[in-house]
Chain A
Amino acid sequence: MTAVLKPTLARCLWVAPAFAALAILITVAARSIFGMTPVLQESTLLTVAYIAGGIGFIVGIGGFDYWFTWMRGGELDPNDHSQHGAHSWGDYFKFNTDHKVIGIQYIVFTFIMFLVGGMFAEVFRSELATPGQQVLTDQQYSGLISQHGVIMIFVFMVPVFAGIGNYVIPLMIGAADMAFPRLNAVSFWLLPVAAFTLLSSFMFGSFDGGWTGYPTLSEQSGYGMTLYQLGVQLAGASSIATAVNFLVTIIAMRAPGMTLFRMPLLVWANLATSALVVAATPFIAGAQFMAMFDREMGTHFFTIAGGGDTLVYQHIFWFYSHPAVYIMILPGFGIISEVIATHARKPVFGYRAVAFSSAGIAILGFAVWAHHMFASGMEPWLRVPIMLSTLLIAIPTGIKIFSWLGTMWGGVLRMTTANLFAIGFIFTFVIGGLSGVMLAVVPFDVSITNSYFIVAHFHYVLFGGSIMTIYAGFYHWFPKVTGRMYNEVVGRWHFWITFVAMNITFFPMHYQGLVGMPRRVADYAPEFAWSNMVISLAAFVLGASTLIFVYNMIHSARHGKKAGANPWGGLTLEWLLSSPPPIFNFPATPRVIGGPYRYGEEGAKHAIVPEVEPATVETTV
């Protein structure tokens, strides 16, 4: 019985509905007092219920318990670590302030969302397998492709990097935790709320305007569109809070001796990404607020009849959503630097150039948004400067690719699954990068924009880029997180099937686009029949390959060979701890005495972790 009063998911089950009910009551009362008709306006009541229910969920899980206790003058113990660290399975389903627990919560939750988003893709690929419409109606089709995009971007790819960063970054910089552990937990628990909001839109006529949600189509859609706008705001809030946390943690909590130029490159990448998130994400949140107000409150930011402007939405939307592409790839670049250096037993080639190219991409990333709008009817003069800035971004990206090749050259490459994914990533990402250069050039872009060429390009960048790096990271840190080794043979099968199926799925889309197949269509001209069949079959194999990964992770986490502290012989700080690391990370503050990639140097060390008697360390739980 006490379970429903303590901060648990069980408490959410009544607190969230209670908040929603209260909000509905207040709204109904206010509407009847002020004589607004109809009093029971369905969309208004749903919106307040969702907002209040979301807050109620965070309250229920215990997000504000500490602050509430302080507010009512209750007793607080500064050394109370009862919510820190996982002592049993159940702790992963609770509000927890340990960055390692939060990291795992993020990774597992977002990966489940990846499977959900992937399922949507499999469903609409089955519609696309043959010409004509057999499986889905137009509306269902548009709903599925929109959900696929939004789920993949906002509740998988952006947050999964926050999850990997959460687990690894504090360890890498020698910190005890993130700077704001409670904010960190709240950021995570906002994600299930965002995902629920997005996915439940299916019940109310799902949003079907594409993941971009452009007005004025968004004004026509069913109530699901409002839930999309709300869901994106929630995911955005989570993402901003995490980024602030990373910034403060990386700037203020590095171990003594860890100068900026001794930071591992993943830390550099996360620093650049977090700066991007903090500066850019408010734009999409703002755009969604305005679009939601238009729908639910009768404002006229984007409605034509009220003097609004739809082009403004596109500018604000892409002012975030282009930097978002770098938010989804920069941490991946960081992972690749770690993985390749460690598994090639060689220092990262051109560390400074790689570090600064992250910063360069982050800054240039703000000056390229309008390349999504070359055919939108925007101001024509804007085309040339945006084209030039977009082309320039190829240079820091190229530096990274060549530096990774330079890192591998002369190394001793251990062909682990992690390294295979890193190498496969270079192959596929080069293709996505090159088609990106093509698309930067205005006349070419205008001739094929909104076609399958675009779909091919961004899947090469996001699947061939981001997801390959995510897999590389998962395999690389799996022994650290679980204390056990994954199965290399199964891992290799996973890599090869994913790699081959991915290329067969996405490469033919370039040709489809060039010939004239538009994106976001449920049916196509007969000439595309065989290529779509090939793509759909490959997409099913690609989906199935994910299950191999899931099997490997679950099976190895329980039955894998014991990993030991440092199975890869890494030099960065996380490898100096046991696997999995102790709940409070380091027994004493580590000292950093050199660069992070001193491979090939006799007896070289990046850092020293002093051994302190456990009794003198505050680890009272």
Chain B
Amino acid sequence: MKTIKVLPLALLGTVVGIVISVILIFTRTLPVQASAEANDIDNLYIFFLGFSGIIFGIVVLFLLVAVYRFRARPNDEREGDNVHGITWLEVVWTVIPFVIVVLCAIGGLIVLRSGDVEAQARTKGQQIHVLGYQFGWKYAYLNQGIDLKDQQTLVLPVNEPVIFELESNDVIHSFWVPAWRMQMNATPGQVNEISTTPTKIGSFEIVCAYLCGVGHTNMNSALPGSIIPKVQVVSKSDFDAWIEQQKAEAAKAAESSSAETTTGSAG
């Protein structure tokens, strides 16, 4: 019986793994990248798929070869080799995963750090207060002093930083915009901050990712007939025009309400 060389098999496993990785990477169906962070995070994911495919390929190839090569024949009473371990090999397969997780950690830290640096640089962006409630979102533009109505569409300018201050007045919700690769809980009793920079014009889904009660399923703009509006990212000029319109509407509303109060007190 021929002995099987381990090293060529490991190389073959690597090749199989690379093929698996490539297939996974090309069949990935990630949502559109619509924020400054999205590309980094997707690259991280492609890196993960790369090494995962290779590890998976090696393990499965060895598994299959072992099953094929070392399976017992009918009425096979042989015993296996009396080998209790090979120290250098055990060291190797401790060190290799260690190197891989160190690489993961480095990749993760780089992306995390660049995200944090960008987040810190975003002191001058749009400040948006997001109030999660059962079952919807209510936005306020802190820079412009505009309060939107319940379930009114969030409109943001493209390529301008935006800082979200998330709060909830009932239960935990989670503000998830998959196209921005961004998610943060809105937790009652505290303000959670997260920021991003939208880089694509268009409308994107807003999904409540944390179970928040009977309306949780419908707190997802991707559902047909959902009352949750998608987030609209528009050009700077469109945004300014929209802000002016909101201000005008707010002024009109204030006027009519004060008029009501006046008539009310006059009556």
B interface: dominant SS: mixed
Chain A residues with Cβ under 8 A from B101's Cβ?
391-392, 394-395, 437
Of the stretches B122-130, B138-146, B153-161, B183-191, the one at the interface is: B183-191
Question: A344, B216: Cβ atoms under 8 Å?
Answer: no
At the interface, yes or no: A387 with Cβ under 8 Å from chain B?
yes
When distances are taken between beta carbons in the complex, the residues of chain A under 8 Å from B183 are 375, 446-450
8 Å CB contact of A515 from B30, B82, B217: B30
Kindly provide the distance from the CB of B114 to the nearest chain A CB, expressed in whole angstroms.
9
- A586 contacts partner chain B, Cβ-Cβ < 8 Å: no
- Option from B45, B81, B182 in Cβ contact (under 8 Å) with A446: B182
Interface assignment of A18: CB less than 8 Å from any CB of chain B: no
Give Cα distance in the complex from A346 to B80, angstroms: 5
User: How many Å lie between the Cα of A419 and that of B62 in the bound state?
Assistant: 16
Q: Give A411's nearest chain B residue, CB to CB.
A: B80
Interface 1/0s, chain A 260-302, versus B by CB < 8 A? 0000000000000000000000000000000000000000000
Q: Report chain A residues within 8 Å CB of B28.
A: 511, 514
Known A-B contacts A410-B83, A516-B205; the reply to A311 vs B190 at CB < 8 A is yes
Q: Which of B56-111 contact A (CB under 8 A)?
A: 56, 59-60, 62-63, 66-67, 70-72, 76, 78-86, 89-90, 93-94, 97-98, 100-101, 104-105, 107-109, 111
Write out the residue numbers on chain A whose beta carbons fall within 8 Å of the beta carbon of B176: 450-451, 516, 518
**Interface stretch (choices A68-76, A183-191, A251-259, A425-433):** A425-433
* A350–B210 CA distance with the chains assembled, in angstroms: 43
B48 within 8 A of A: yes
Q: A395-B98, A413-B70 are known contacts. Are A521 and B220 too (CB-CB below 8 A)?
A: yes
Residues of chain A lying within 8 A (CB to CB) of residue B62 = 405, 409
Which segment, of A227-235, A323-331, A463-471, A597-605, faces chain B? A597-605
Contact B52 A437 (CB under 8 A): yes
- Segment at the A interface, from B165-173, B232-240, B243-251, B253-261: B165-173
Picked from A413, A431, A443, the residue with its CB within 8 Å of the CB of B37 is A443
A304 CB to nearest B CB, Å: 4
CB closest residue in chain B, given A401: B59
Q: Is the CB of B70 within 8 A of A344?
A: yes
A308 and B29 alpha carbons, distance in the complex (Å):
42
**B52 and A438 contacting across the interface, CB-CB below 8 Å:** yes
CB-nearest residue of chain B to A348: B84
Q: Which residues of A contact B224 (CB under 8 A)?
A: 131, 525-526
Distance (Å) between the CB of A352 and the closest chain B CB?
Answer: 8
Residue A444 is within 8 A (CB to CB) of chain B in the complex: yes
A139 close to chain B: CB less than 8 A: yes
A312 to chain B, nearest CB (A): 10
Query: In the docked arrangement, what's the CA distance between A375 and B105, Å?
Result: 18
User: Quick check: is A382 within 8 A (CB to CB) of the other chain?
Assistant: no
Instruction: Report how far A515 CA is from B174 CA in the complex, Å.
Output: 17
Is B84's CB under 8 angstroms from A349's CB? Answer: yes
Assess whether B209 is interfacial by the CB under 8 Å rule.
yes
Which A residue's beta carbon lies closest to that of B98? A395
Whether the pair B174, A310 counts as a contact (CB closer than 8 A) is: no
Is there contact, CB below 8 Å, between B78 and A345? yes
CA distance A282 to B212 in the complex (A): 27
Task: Name the A residues within 8 Å of B100 (CB-CB).
Answer: 394, 437
Distance between B38 CB and nearest chain A CB, rounded to angstroms: 8
Q: How far is the CA of A431 from the CA of B63 in the complex (A)?
A: 14
Taking the closest CB of chain A, its distance from the CB of B177, in whole angstroms, is 9
Whether the Cβ atoms of B189 and A309 lie closer than 8 Å is: yes
In-complex Cβ contact of B90 among A308, A350, A401, A414 (8 A): A350
Q: Indicate if the CB atoms of B63 and A405 lie closer than 8 Å.
A: yes
Q: CB distance A410 to B56 under 8 Å? A: no
Listed residue (A141, A384, A391) with the most chain B CB atoms within 10 angstroms of its CB? A391
Residues of A within 8 A of B202 (CB): none
- Indicate if A13 sits at the interface (CB-CB under 8 A): no
Contacting residues, chain B, for A348 (C-beta < 8 A):
84
Contact with B along A392-423 (1 / 0, CB 8 A): 10110011011101101111111100000001
> Which residues on B sit within 8 Å (CB–CB) of A377?
166, 184-185, 187, 190, 192
CB closest chain-B residue, reference A511: B29
Interchain CB contact under 8 A, B71 and A413: yes
Please tell me if B11 contacts chain A, counting CB pairs below 8 Å: no
Q: Which among B41, B52, B72 is the interface contact of A413 at CB below 8 angstroms?
A: B72
- Shortest distance from the beta carbon of B136 to any chain A beta carbon, whole Å: 15
A427 touches B72 (CB 8 A): no
Asked if A209 is at the interface of the complex by the 8 Å CB criterion, the answer is yes
Q: Are B72 and A310 touching (Cβ within 8 A)? A: no
Question: In the docked arrangement, what's the CA distance between A435 and B45, Å?
Answer: 10
Q: How far is the CB of B39 from chain A (nearest CB, A)?
A: 12
The answer to whether residues A413 and B67 also contact, given A392-B101, A438-B52, A516-B31 and a CB cut-off of 8 A, is: yes
Known contacts A346-B83, A427-B60, A441-B104; is-contact A515 B172 (Cβ 8 Å): no
A301-B173 Cα distance, complex, nearest whole Å: 20
Query: Is B152's beta carbon under 8 Å from chain A?
Result: no
Does A441 contact B44, Cβ atoms closer than 8 Å?
yes
**Of A109-117, A160-168, A213-221, A572-580, the one touching chain B:** A213-221
Identify B208's interface contact among A401, A411, A518, CB under 8 A: A518
Contacts of B189 in A (CB 8 A): 304, 308-310
Across the A-B interface, give the 3 residue pairs with the lowest CB-CB distance, nearest first.
A346-B80, A377-B192, A411-B80
24 A-B pairs whose Cβ atoms sit less than 8 Å apart in the complex: A217-B172, A217-B212, A346-B81, A375-B184, A383-B112, A384-B109, A387-B105, A394-B97, A410-B80, A411-B70, A413-B67, A413-B70, A434-B48, A434-B56, A437-B52, A440-B108, A442-B112, A447-B183, A511-B28, A515-B178, A516-B222, A518-B220, A525-B222, A525-B223
Other A-B pairs, 17, CB within 8 Å; known A217-B212, A450-B183, A516-B205: A216-B170, A217-B211, A346-B79, A349-B84, A384-B112, A399-B90, A405-B62, A408-B70, A412-B71, A437-B100, A437-B104, A446-B182, A448-B178, A515-B178, A519-B211, A526-B224, A600-B83
